[in-house]
């Protein structure tokens, strides 16, 4: 399997540090608002990477943080007159709902920056002890020039960076950062301002800089050295460059072996972003489409290519996904009339013929997760299944065909089985049956009916006026 590594700008064979195990960290969102569909791109792409690694037999320890302390969160809290914690807790919950809708597996651990402050203070202490950081009036800075490999991920030359900063003397003065030894130095810890959340430290009551959070959470929940570190391409500089400088200086080992970055989701060929105001939230999209369509749309492009969001592309994603869903539902329908007898030789041969589509799928995914080509292989399999199945087939054969399609769509995280709908009239009939069962003191049957309805997302409520029900 090959992965494109931003660090070397090449596709490399994937060899994990430990046999059969993968340690993977994905930078998560800053939680001050509903996530937009640009934020959803790394979530969907790297969830698919994880699913494919698991399919290949790796045990994946997948860590993705929530940045729950940040200027934007504090600003929003002040606007609403509530605490920063209330804002971050609210939007973490909302983000988790969107993730569930997009069928993104929960991470092995979802650490919160505010719960990891002790670890950050420890790492900053280590950096000061090793001469990589210094305290000026309660602000701790990283001494960027001291780290020899600075710029190795973003391929930036430190002297060019310095030149870019020269005009900034005035800006630094205004922001109070003119006390830095060098304009290239960045903040590890800053003193609190009035009304801001803060934690006690030897330097000042204050809060951590953004970059130190990920270095610490990755170290704590994975290891000093990990296999894959990922995020959107805007994070390459300065966020990931600074994470490398912090972690490698503090731990004395390489930070991550493979660096993966997704390209932007654009709108009218401009990056979708909150600050530009040109965004759709995942919630907006869910009003119009099943979020599986959004997932399919994202995976229709390779994760390193930019994609331009448009209605037309969403409609074509919807049609593509529907083709798979229809095929699955037809095969399920055939199961009802298919023969109980053992699979025939001819059928077995046909199943063997479908191996080619699975192989194509794997080849595409092995080539730096080319989900666009992987989807084409799924379409070929679906087409084959459609034209090689009928009510003359055995159940066993149809079941195998179904399983083959679903195995592949599961890797892409696409839910292709139709949810069973239950009609209001059927619900009412079951409620009557339940009442009858209770009259006859057949409580086991009554419970069974309640459970059956619950499995179809119907909850019953026994009130004085009778039984009420609602869909959840």
Sheet holding 265-267, edge to edge: 270-271, 265-267, 307-308
Q: Which of 49, 235, 293, 414 binds ligand AMP (CB under 6 A)?
A: 235
Angle between the N-to-C axes of helices 395-411 and 371-387, in degrees from 0 to 180, rounded to the nearest 10 = 170
Residues sharing a CB contact under 8 Å with residue 67, sequence separation 6 or more, in sequence order: 28, 29, 30, 31, 113, 210, 213
Give φ, ψ of 467 to 5 degrees: -90, 130
- Residue 4 C-beta-side C-alpha neighbours within 13 Å: 16
From the list 112-120, 128-136, 269-277, 321-329, the region that binds ligand AMP by CB under 6 A is 269-277
Interaction of residue 271 with ligand AMP, rule CB under 6 A: yes
Residue 210 or 397 having the CB closest to ligand AMP: 210
Shortest reach from residue 61's CB to Zn ion, in Å: 17
Instruction: Say how many C-beta atoms besides its own lie within 10 A of residue 149's C-beta.
Output: 12
Please choose which of ligand AMP, Zn ion, none residue 402 contacts, taking the beta carbon within 5 to 8 angstroms, the exact cut-off set by kind: none
From the list 75-83, 268-276, 310-318, 350-358, the region that binds ligand AMP by CB under 6 A is 268-276
Residue 148 or 276 having the CB closest to ligand AMP: 276
Residue 201 or 246 having the CB closest to ligand AMP: 246
Nearest CA among 234, 215, 240 for reference residue 225: 215
Contact 294, 37 (CB under 8 A): yes
Interaction of residue 64 with ligand AMP, rule CB under 6 A: no
Residue 273 or 286 having the CB closest to ligand AMP: 273
Q: Which of 209, 232, 238, 413 binds ligand AMP (CB under 6 A)?
A: 232
Query: In the beta sheet, which residues pair with residue 191?
Result: 206
Give the count of residues interacting with ligand AMP (CB under 6 A): 17
Please choose which of Zn ion, ligand AMP, none residue 38 contacts, taking the beta carbon within 5 to 8 angstroms, the exact cut-off set by kind: ligand AMP
In angstroms, the CA 125 to CA 203 distance is 10
Residues at the site binding Zn ion, with contacts judged by CB under 5 A: 27, 214
In angstroms, the CA 427 to CA 449 distance is 10
Shortest reach from residue 235's CB to Zn ion, in Å: 6
Interaction of residue 231 with ligand AMP, rule CB under 6 A: yes
Q: Which of 16, 29, 238, 413 binds ligand AMP (CB under 6 A)?
A: 29
Residues sharing a CB contact under 8 Å with residue 20, sequence separation 6 or more, in sequence order: 57, 58, 59
Binding mask 314-353 for ligand AMP (x = CB under 6 A): ----------------------------------------
Residue 262 or 370 having the CB closest to ligand AMP: 262
Give φ, ψ of 418 to 5 degrees: -65, 135
Interaction of residue 209 with ligand AMP, rule CB under 6 A: no
Residue 16 or 29 having the CB closest to ligand AMP: 29
Residue 42 or 413 having the CB closest to ligand AMP: 42
Residues sharing a CB contact under 8 Å with residue 197, sequence separation 6 or more, in sequence order: 69, 74, 83, 84, 85, 114, 207
Interaction of residue 265 with ligand AMP, rule CB under 6 A: yes
In angstroms, the CA 424 to CA 300 distance is 37
Instruction: Say how many C-beta atoms besides its own lie within 10 A of residue 227's C-beta.
Output: 24
| Residue given tokens 């209330």 in the structure block | 86
Residue 214 or 260 having the CB closest to Zn ion: 214
Give φ, ψ of 78 to 5 degrees: -65, -40
Q: Which of 27, 44, 249, 385 binds ligand AMP (CB under 6 A)?
A: 27
Q: Which of 162, 168, 234, 448 binds ligand AMP (CB under 6 A)?
A: 234
Please choose which of Zn ion, ligand AMP, none residue 214 contacts, taking the beta carbon within 5 to 8 angstroms, the exact cut-off set by kind: Zn ion
Residue 17 or 314 having the CB closest to ligand AMP: 314
Shortest reach from residue 115's CB to ligand AMP, in Å: 18
- Residue 461 C-beta-side C-alpha neighbours within 13 Å: 8
In angstroms, the CA 227 to CA 202 distance is 34
Shortest reach from residue 256's CB to ligand AMP, in Å: 15
Query: In the beta sheet, which residues pair with residue 466?
Result: 463
* DSSP conformation class of 228: E
Residue 30 or 204 having the CB closest to ligand AMP: 30
Shortest reach from residue 28's CB to Zn ion, in Å: 8
Contact 364, 377 (CB under 8 A): yes
Q: Which of 3, 5, 25, 38 binds ligand AMP (CB under 6 A)?
A: 38
* DSSP conformation class of 21: E
**Interacting residues with ligand AMP (CB under 6 A):** 27, 29-30, 38-39, 41-42, 231-232, 234-235, 262, 264-265, 271-273
């Amino acid at each position: 399997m090959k992965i494109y590594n931003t660090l070397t700008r090449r596709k490399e064979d994937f060899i994990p540090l430990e046999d059969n195990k993968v340690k993977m960290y994905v930078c998560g969102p800053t939680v001050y608002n509903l996530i937009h569909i640009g934020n959803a791109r790394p979530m969907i792409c790297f969830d698919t990477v994880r699913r494919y690694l698991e399919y290949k037999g790796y045990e994946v320890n997948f860590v993705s943080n929530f940045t729950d302390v940040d200027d934007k969160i504090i600003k929003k809290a002040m606007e609403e007159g509530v605490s920063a914690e209330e804002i971050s807790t609210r939007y973490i919950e909302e983000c988790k709902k969107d993730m569930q809708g997009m069928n993104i597996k929960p991470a092995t651990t979802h650490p919160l920056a505010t719960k990891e402050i002790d670890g950050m203070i420890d790492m900053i202490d280590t950096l000061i002890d090793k001469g990589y950081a210094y305290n000026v009036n309660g602000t701790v800075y990283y001494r960027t020039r001291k780290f020899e490999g600075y710029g190795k991920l973003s391929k930036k030359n430190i002297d060019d960076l310095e030149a870019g900063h020269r005009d900034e003397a005035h800006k630094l003065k205004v922001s109070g950062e003119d006390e830095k030894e060098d304009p290239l130095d960045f903040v590890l810890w800053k003193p609190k301002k009035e009304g801001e959340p803060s934690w006690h430290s030897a330097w000042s009551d204050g809060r951590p800089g953004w970059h130190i959070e990920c270095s610490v959470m990755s170290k704590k929940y994975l290891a000093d050295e990990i296999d894959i570190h990922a995020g959107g391409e805007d994070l390459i500089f300065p966020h990931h460059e600074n994470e490398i400088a912090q972690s490698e200086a503090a731990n004395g080992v390489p930070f991550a072996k493979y660096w993966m970055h997704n390209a932007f989701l654009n709108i009218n060929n401009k990056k979708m972003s909150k600050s530009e105001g040109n965004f759709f939230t995942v919630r907006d999209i869910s009003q119009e489409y099943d979020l599986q369509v959004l997932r399919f749309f994202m995976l229709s492009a390779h994760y390193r290519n930019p994609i331009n969001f448009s209605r037309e592309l969403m409609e074509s994603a919807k049609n593509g996904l529907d083709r798979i869903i229809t095929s699955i539902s037809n095969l399920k329908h055939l199961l009802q009339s298919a023969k109980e007898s053992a699979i025939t030789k001819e059928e077995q041969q046909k199943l063997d013929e479908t191996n080619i589509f699975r192989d194509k799928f794997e080849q595409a995914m092995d080539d730096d997760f080319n989900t666009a080509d992987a989807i084409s292989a799924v379409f070929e399999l679906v087409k084959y299944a459609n034209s090689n199945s009928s009510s003359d087939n055995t159940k066993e054969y149809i079941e195998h065909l179904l399983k083959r399609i679903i195995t592949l769509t599961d890797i892409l995280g696409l839910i292709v089985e139709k949810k069973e709908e239950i009609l209001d009239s059927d619900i009412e009939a079951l409620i009557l049956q339940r009442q009858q069962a209770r009259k006859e003191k057949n409580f086991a049957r009554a419970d069974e009916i309640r459970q059956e309805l619950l499995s179809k997302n119907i909850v019953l409520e026994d009130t004085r006026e009778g039984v009420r029900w609602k869909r959840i």
